[in-house]
Amino acid sequence: MGFTQVGFIDIEYDNLQLLEQCQIIYINGGNPFYLLYQMKKSRTDIILRDFACRGNMIIGVSAGAVVLGPNIEIVHYFTPEMNSIKLRDFKALGLTNKIIFPHYDREDLFLNSEGKSIEDRLQEYESLHNCMITRLKNNQFLISEYLIE
């Protein structure tokens, strides 16, 4: 893709001023609860907001995409057991208004004791919360503009 330099920054331990030198930030997947918690604790959320305001690109994959949206409540709905840190505030970065559901094609990741499919549960969630979920399969992506100026 023409990148001449790639660096890895751990927001829990590394100097976050390094993020300000980046042209593109790629946020990897993992546990969305832990990721969001660490982003807020380290103030990476503020750095990312400023980064976006300057017109820079942020790429989120899996949990990294979910935390860019308004909240991570959909994660709690599907996998509350992932919230091992007992996060209570599910408000995310709000850089986009898209609520992302990654791995839409992976029923094996989201088994349900009632035998409901991912789609059945997403429709149920949308109805209960009067919202629209953006479903992304593992081979799909979404390009979205920021909500901030």
Could you give the residue numbers annotated as active site?
62, 103
Residue 35 DSSP SS3: helix
| Phi, psi angle pair for 58, to nearest 5° | -120, 130
The whole-angstrom separation of Cα 23 and Cα 130 is: 36
- Using CA atoms, how far residue 35 sits from 40, 64, 132, in Å, is 9, 8, 23
